[in-house]
């Protein structure tokens, strides 16, 4: 017990150093687990990424051992991301993955191409891996900042922010936060948006409206970029909707003022920026497949009232839709997703009932200064409702097993779990052990191209 307290105390006093050390150790464990995986599984199509167009065999001009190491991380959808980074959106189904990640990987890969160690194709895989690691580390630090901000002044003596950030290191998203996948970049941008949103509220509540407006727009920009990375980023529009309704009601009930009008304008602009992240890829795809083509050459989704290549691709190629995944053969996947779904729903509902639970308190009456600066119920609802809606969508419409990895972009449940550890240590211990075990097993299966993914 004393040893644990000492570690928590050191982590609280030196959060960046401690979190960085834990991060490096855990990433090393994930990397070694992936390298130790027995083989390539039932699908070897990822190796096609390493064919040089002017070569007669894969891995030419690059050591096979080095190529094989990176190949362990290019599995499942990572094949699409690295392919899109190198060649753009060649196939229609690739539009399901947005444009943000592949564009960023492509830019980083150009910086690596001059190296004599890696080939051009390898540079895209390596760029994706480096990007994921950097984004995950930034997300960990930002989660610590979010938890600190939510706790107000009373959180300065609490270990909750450090524990919450540590839990994100051990996220059940596991190797997906290391591979060329969207999870780590989405989490980084999503946490940036939530952090700026919380800061905006602090500035508004301390009569600094213009600083609050600036941060609200920054939040919208971050969420918009997150939506370019993953479409479920559009759920970040919920906080802006809540904020717009409450500000508008204040205008109508308390009278018009420049502060309220400017605040409403910044909220509206932030919400528009989130929407742009969803609609921009649709517009680009419409230009490719629909605009200027004769009716016979157009894809069927071009004729829809609201044409959306994303909706079409998800339905046509992956059979995504309400209750389509509800088959007896998929029951094991629902069982696999059950712990994450429980965490998301329980943490959201518990927080909506009692926001003070995020400070490690079963019930409390915060001081007047804290009420003005931390998390009134509407702000807490802005954190809870997106992940609650996500869990419902995953249960009814998504390939449910992906919830373990896409939950990594929502900060509330990490903070709730860290705050609950004091009052429910046995429950928290079981959950944390499950997270670590799940991530380790997942890394071995992923590297061997085996499900679930």
CA angle 197, 155, 157 (to 5 degrees): 155
Distance of CA 128 to CAs 125, 132, 293, 365, 396, Å? Answer: 5, 6, 35, 46, 31
pLDDT for 368 equals 45
Instruction: Identify whether 452 is preceded by a cis peptide bond (ω within 30 of 0).
Output: yes
* 347-365 per-position pLDDT tens digit: 999 999 998 888 766 544 4
Decide which of 45 and 345 is more confident.
Answer: 345
Query: If pLDDT is split at 50, 70 and 90, which confidence band does 267 have?
Result: very high
CA–CA dist 259, 204 (Å, integer): 9
CB atoms within 10 A of CB 66: 15
pLDDT at 452 over 80: no
Q: Which residues contact 12 (CB under 8 A, 6 or more apart)?
A: 158, 159, 161, 162
CA–CA dist 419, 159 (Å, integer): 9
CA–CA dist 275, 227 (Å, integer): 8
SS3 55: coil
Decide which of 164 and 254 is more confident.
Answer: 164
CB atoms within 10 A of CB 252: 10
CA–CA dist 279, 308 (Å, integer): 9
Q: H-type helices in 152-257, by residue range?
A: 160-169, 183-205, 209-229, 237-254
pLDDT for 8 equals 75
Share of the chain above pLDDT 90, in %: 54
Decide which of 111 and 326 is more confident.
Answer: 326
* 35-64 per-position pLDDT tens digit: 888 766 555 565 555 544 444 444 344 444
The residue-averaged pLDDT of 61-68 equals: 45
Please give the structure tokens belonging to residue 363.
């019930």
Q: Please name which of 269, 279, 221 lies closest in space to residue 243, comparing C-alpha atoms.
A: 269
Say if residue 404 is exposed, middle or buried (CB neighbours under 10 Å; 0-12, 13-18, 19+): buried
Share of the chain above pLDDT 70, in %: 85
The helix (H) or strand (E) run that includes residue 129 is helix 120-151
Q: Please name which of 122, 124, 115 lies closest in space to residue 60, comparing C-alpha atoms.
A: 122
pLDDT for 259 equals 87
Number of residues that make up the chain: 453
CA–CA dist 147, 265 (Å, integer): 27
pLDDT at 330 over 90: yes
CA–CA dist 58, 415 (Å, integer): 46
Q: Which residues contact 392 (CB under 8 A, 6 or more apart)?
A: none
Please give the structure tokens belonging to residue 151.
């706790």
pLDDT at 443 over 80: yes
Q: H-type helices in 230-330, by residue range?
A: 237-254, 258-289, 309-318
CB atoms within 10 A of CB 165: 30
CA–CA dist 204, 353 (Å, integer): 24
pLDDT for 53 equals 45
pLDDT for 215 equals 97
pLDDT at 297 over 60: yes
Q: Answer yes or no: are the C-beta atoms of 449 and 76 closer than 8 Å.
A: yes
Q: Mean pLDDT of all residues in the chain? A: 85
Maximum Cα interatomic distance, the chain, rounded to a whole number of Å: 75
- The verdict on pTM exceeding 0.95 is no
CA–CA dist 147, 311 (Å, integer): 35
Query: If pLDDT is split at 50, 70 and 90, which confidence band does 228 have?
Result: very high
pLDDT for 439 equals 95
* 106-140 per-position pLDDT tens digit: 888 888 876 656 666 678 888 999 999 999 999 99
Distance of CA 384 to CAs 27, 235, 312, Å? Answer: 29, 11, 29
């Amino acid at each position: 017990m004393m040893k644990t307290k000492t570690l928590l105390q050191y982590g609280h006093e030196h959060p960046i150093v401690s979190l960085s050390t834990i991060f490096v150790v855990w990433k090393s464990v994930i990397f070694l687990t992936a390298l130790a995986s027995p083989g390539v599984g039932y699908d070897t199509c990822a190796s096609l990424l390493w064919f040089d167009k002017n070569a007669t065999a894969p891995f030419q001009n690059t050591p096979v051992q080095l190529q094989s190491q990176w190949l362990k991380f290019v599995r499942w959808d990572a094949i699409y991301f690295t392919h899109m980074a190198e060649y753009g959106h060649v196939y229609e189904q690739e539009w399901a993955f947005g444009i943000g990640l592949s564009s960023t990987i492509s830019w980083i890969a150009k910086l690596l191409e001059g190296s004599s160690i890696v080939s051009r194709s390898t540079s895209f895989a390596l760029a994706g891996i480096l990007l994921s690691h950097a984004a995950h580390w930034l997300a960990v630090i930002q989660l610590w900042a979010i938890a600190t901000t939510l706790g107000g002044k009373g959180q300065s003596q609490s270990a909750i922010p450090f524990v919450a950030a540590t839990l994100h290191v051990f996220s059940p998203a596991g190797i997906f936060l290391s591979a060329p996948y969207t999870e780590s970049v989405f989490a980084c941008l999503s946490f940036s948006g939530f952090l700026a949103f919380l800061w905006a509220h602090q500035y508004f509540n301390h009569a600094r409206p213009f600083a609050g407006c600036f941060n609200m727009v920054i939040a919208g920009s971050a969420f918009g970029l997150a939506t370019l990375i993953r479409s479920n980023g559009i759920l970040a529009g919920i906080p802006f909707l809540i904020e717009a309704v409450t500000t508008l009601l204040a205008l109508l009930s308390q009278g018009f003022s420049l502060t309220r009008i400017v605040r409403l304008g910044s909220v509206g602009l932030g919400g528009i920026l989130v929407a742009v992240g969803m609609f921009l890829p649709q517009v680009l795809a419409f230009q490719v497949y629909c605009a200027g083509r004769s009716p016979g050459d157009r894809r069927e989704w071009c004729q829809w009232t609201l044409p959306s290549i994303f909706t079409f691709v998800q339905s046509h190629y992956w059979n995504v839709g309400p209750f389509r995944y509800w088959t007896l053969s998929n029951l094991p996947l629902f069982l696999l997703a059950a712990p994450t779904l429980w965490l998301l729903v329980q943490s959201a509902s518990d927080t909506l009932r009692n926001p003070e639970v995020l400070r490690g308190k079963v019930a409390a009456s915060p001081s007047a200064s804290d009420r003005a600066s931390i998390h009134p119920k509407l702000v807490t609802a802005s954190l809870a409702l997106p992940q609650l809606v996500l869990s419902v969508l995953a249960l009814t419409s998504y390939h449910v097993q992906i919830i373990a990895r896409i939950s990594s972009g929502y900060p509330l449940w990490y903070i709730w779990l860290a705050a609950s550890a004091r009052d429910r240590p046995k429950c928290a211990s079981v959950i944390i052990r499950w997270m670590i075990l799940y991530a380790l097993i997942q890394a071995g299966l992923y590297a061997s191209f085996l499900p679930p993914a």
